[in-house]
Structure 1
Amino acid sequence: MKPTHKLLFVLCPMLVLGFIYYSSGKLRLHMWGQKARNPLELVYKYGNLSEGTCKPGYAAAKMTAIFPKFVKPAPMFLDRNFKRLAKVSNYFPPFGFKTQERIIDSILAATKNYGLGKELDGPGCRRCIIVGNGGILFNKSLGSRIDDYDVVVRLNEAPVAGFTKDVGTKTTMRITYPEGAIQKPENYEKDSLFVFSAFKSLDFKWLRQMVLKEKLRGIEGFWKSVAHYVPREPSDMRILNPYFIQEAAFQFIGLPFNDGLMGKGNIPTLGTVAITMALHNCDEVAVAGFGYDMNKPHAPLHYYETVKMSAIKESWTHNISKEKEFLRKLVKANVITDLTNGI
Structure 2
Amino acid sequence: MTAPYPVSILDLATVRHGQPIAESLQESTELAVLADELGFHRLWFAEHHNMETIASSATSVLLAHMGAHTKNIRLGAGGIMLPNHAPLVIAEQFGTLKELYGDRIDLGLGRAPGTDQKTLMALRRTNQSSERFPSDVLELQGYLKDASRIPGINAYPGSGTNVPLVILGSSHFGAQLAAQLGMTYSFASHFAPQMLESAAATYRTEFTPSQDLPKPHFIAAANVVIADTDERAQEMWDRAKRARIRTMLGRGRKLTDEDVEQLLHSPPGQQVLQMLEMTAVGTPDTVRDWLDEFAARVNADELIITNMAGPLEDRKRALQLISDYIINR
* Same topology, TM > 0.5: no
TM-score by length of 1: 0.30
- Rg comparison, structure with higher value: 1
TM-score by length of 2: 0.31
Report the structure, 1 or 2, having the larger helix content.
2
